[in-house]
Structure 1
Amino acid sequence: MRVGRGATDELGDVITGLGLSRPLLVTDAFLEQTGAAERMLATLQKAGLRPRLFSGTVPDPTTDALSPGLRALHDHEADSVIGFGGGSPMDTAKALALLGAQGGQMRDYKAPCVNLGPALPVIAVPTTAGSGSEATQVTVITDSATQEKMLCLGPAFLPLAAVLDVELALSMPPRLTADTGIDALTHAVEAYVSRKANPFSDSLALTAIATIGRHLRHAYADGGDIRARGAMMLAATQAGIAFSNSGVALVHGMSRPIGAHFHVAHGLSNAMLFPAVTAFSLHAATARYADCARALQAATPADGDATAAAKFVDALHSLCRDLHVPSPRDHGIDQDAWNRVTPLMAQQALASGSPANNPVVPTTEEIQDLYAQIYA
């Protein structure tokens, strides 16, 4: 990992040092339009590399959208893939790296399958502070035929290198800053309360929670706050490493179907769910949620665990209010449509496996009740 302001200038050296020469630069239309992709290509060419650009990434990447990327990968005879952008370009890059080496369909690799490789090397260059995808062995791809958001896991998806440059995050608008920031906080908290939590993931999760608590509101209010932006980028990566080693839980399990059926950004759907799911889970991991409250500075060391845990739920409600997180209703989702797909979303949430990591493993009926609670 290369971390620091201006770190993208070192990207060519990173790739050369790995013995690679023909990267496919995977990004989206926005970064191409702003000129950021062209500047990245120039940096790579200056280092003596032979890159090719693929800017066809779509939000919440789909299997259909992977096809042109796979053609570009093969046409270029790429020996590596650079994921440049937010979670969607990085997830796309990971998927292309695996399919480029193994072939088949993306549904062949969805959970519970654990993918060991082979895959082309992935170098991640995030421009947002949220997904943590640069440090995880996870990619999420929507099946275009079924609209299922497929969780795909395994070391084959872990980037070989990552470059964290705060300058790339300075153009993030407030809504994206809020959504990705709460996404990172969700990663950290779910990593800490997960049934698979361990001392390694715990230390990173608590550090990320504390950092996000200090800096997210500042980054949201002032996008040019370089200190807050840099802190949020590092916290997102720490949270990504944490959940890659302990798993996410019920918030993520319920979030993915919302994104698939209603095209809500992943971070925003997490934010919609976060307070209610935490309140539902509180009694089964009171001490753990109390630790999260203290790290977030929502409670003091003098508060007992029950008091601190309750304050944590209040703090999440306050954060969502301050960052203007809408409910599904306020986001424009029709209530009849929401109610109609709620049973299916509940089934898909459970099938993803993430709810099994939750302090309380819910029933399908309990998940449906939570969807009903958060609608308005």
Structure 2
Amino acid sequence: MLFHVDPALNFTFPPFPTELRFGCGLSSEIGAMARELGSSRVLLVTDAGIVKAGVARRLTEPLETAGLQVLLFDEVMQDSSSDMIMRAAALAKERGVDLIVGLGGGSALDSAKAIAAMATNPGSILDWVGLDRVPLDPLPCICVPTAAGTGSEVSVWSVLTDDATGAKASVGGTRVMARIALCDPELTVSLPPAVTAATGMDALGHAVECYVNKACQPVSGALALQAIALIGRHLRRAVADGTSLEARSGMLMAAVLAGIAMNPTRLGLAHALAMPLGSWNLKIPHGTIIAITLPEVMAFNCSAAPDRYAAVAAALGEDTAGLEPEAAARKAVDAVRSLKADTGIPEGLSACGFTPEWSERVVEEAMKSGNVAVNPRATSPADLTAILQKAM
């Protein structure tokens, strides 16, 4: 779909301070990149699984060969912990660290960005929840994804868990963004099929919800639509054959494009629901939530943005020739349902431990999200409740 560029169109695409470096084998050059930033002491933020799998060595060896001291912090868990972030930031200050490197999925990268911020800023990370509230420049941060999904390596946001309440919160702004996004598809090859599927569907959720929402403009739209096409072309193969560098490269590029696209636009109802569904003791994995809820959100929204959803269907490879826009839009819903099923995502939220008694609390929290305001169709608590029921 081509955007109609009205002479009255007026929009701003925000600054993008992250330098994107993309290519197979590029992680071997991280030592030179760190030296370019003037660094000598590095805190490598990751999780124990990445270390056990030997992936961390792909960074520690070239960093040490370049003469940098590397301190390993491998305590990241699913859904970054505010207490862990503050503990790691204190360690960075104590040891005179001048560069943070995040290695892993979204939790590791979000943690790294938050740790970089709190290594130079006062108080608690929870003091700076919201957009553009972090007062001082963080330490430089290099984000190195091992999964194609969250786009955290290029995202304005760092999502974390408030340990006192169990709820998720977000700290964002251009200051929080990584200095370098080092995207090496080779580092995603060992990602298990189920995680590949969930993170890939998360990237699809970013792209679709960015593309159809009320804040989308031509720059974000072009990036999002290309991401959708790449995911339609490569996700099934990346799940079925994780060794395919073509599929892995396509998916990592899609995640990056979607991550950049969504920075100025926010997202939609699937992501509004994802924050509370990933909170408290529910803690359903984020990508799984998006994969399950996205088709139901799309079905709800189709009538409000049929031309946009028709373009999504075409990008996913559906034949929409000769169809009225709403009929073509429905093919986008069917295509996402098919992709979800083909990649082994659980059928519904009930398979992930969600029960109806959680609905009121989840909906109440989701309605506070800025993602509701930009959704293409006006949404009430009753609408969100109905979407949740259909996603069960």
Instruction: Name the TM tier (shorter chain).
Output: over 0.9
> What is the alpha-carbon distance in structure 2 between the residues aligned to residue 320 and residue 203 of structure 1?
24
Q: After TM superposition, list the pairs within 5 Å mapping 1:53-132 onto structure 2.
A: 53-111=72-130, 114-115=133-134, 117-132=136-151
Runs of at least 5 residues in structure 2 that lack an aligned partner in the other structure: 1-19
Deviates more, 1:267-276 or 1:148-157: 148-157
Q: After TM superposition, list the pairs within 5 Å mapping 1:302-317 onto structure 2.
A: 302-317=322-337
Q: Which residue of 2 aligns with 1:328?
A: 349
Q: Which residue of 2 aligns with 1:282?
A: 302
CA offsets, 1:255-274, max 9 Å, x none? 11111131111101111101
> What is the alpha-carbon distance in structure 1 between the residues aligned to residue 122 and residue 285 of structure 2?
28
1:187 counterpart letter in structure 2: H
CA offsets, 1:147-190, max 9 Å, x none? 11102221122111111111101101110010000000111111
> What is the alpha-carbon distance in structure 2 between the residues aligned to residue 19 and residue 175 of structure 1?
39
Say which structure is richer in helix. 1
What SS does the aligned partner of 1:68 have?
A: helix
Of 255, 273, 286 in structure 2, the residue corresponding to residue 236 of structure 1 is 255
Of 24, 41, 45 in structure 2, the residue corresponding to residue 22 of structure 1 is 41
Q: Which residue of 1 aligns with 2:388?
A: 371
CA offsets, 1:80-115, max 9 Å, x none? 211111101000001111111112222222225644
> What is the alpha-carbon distance in structure 2 between the residues aligned to residue 235 and residue 278 of structure 1?
20
On the 8 A contact 1:151/1:352 being kept in 2, the answer is no
C-alpha displacement at 1:301, in angstroms? 4.1
On the 8 A contact 2:266/2:370 being kept in 1, the answer is no
Q: Which residue of 2 aligns with 1:355?
A: 372
1:230 counterpart letter in structure 2: S
CA offsets, 1:255-299, max 9 Å, x none? 111111311111011111010011111111111111111111123
Say yes or no: does 1:266 pair with 2:286.
yes
What SS does the aligned partner of 2:119 have?
A: helix
CA distance change for structure 1 residues 369 and 301 in 2, over 3 Å: closer, same or farther? same
Of 236, 253, 261 in structure 2, the residue corresponding to residue 217 of structure 1 is 236
On the 8 A contact 1:249/1:358 being kept in 2, the answer is yes
2:139 counterpart letter in structure 1: L
Deviates more, 1:295-304 or 1:247-256: 295-304
Q: Which residue of 1 aligns with 2:360?
A: 343
C-alpha displacement at 1:334, in angstroms? 5.3
CA offsets, 1:25-78, max 9 Å, x none? 100001111222234212101112222111111111121222331232122211
CA RMSD of aligned residues (A): 1.5
> What is the alpha-carbon distance in structure 1 between the residues aligned to residue 354 and residue 39 of structure 2?
49
Say yes or no: does 1:255 pair with 2:274.
yes
What SS does the aligned partner of 2:169 have?
A: strand
Deviates more, 1:342-351 or 1:32-41: 32-41
On the 8 A contact 2:120/2:137 being kept in 1, the answer is yes
CA distance change for structure 1 residues 83 and 334 in 2, over 3 Å: closer, same or farther? closer
Say yes or no: does 1:295 pair with 2:312.
no
Deviates more, 1:15-24 or 1:187-196: 15-24
Q: Which residue of 1 aligns with 2:62?
A: 43
2:350 counterpart letter in structure 1: R
TM-score of the two chains, using structure 2 as the length reference: 0.91
On the 8 A contact 1:117/1:155 being kept in 2, the answer is no
CA distance change for structure 1 residues 115 and 249 in 2, over 3 Å: closer, same or farther? farther
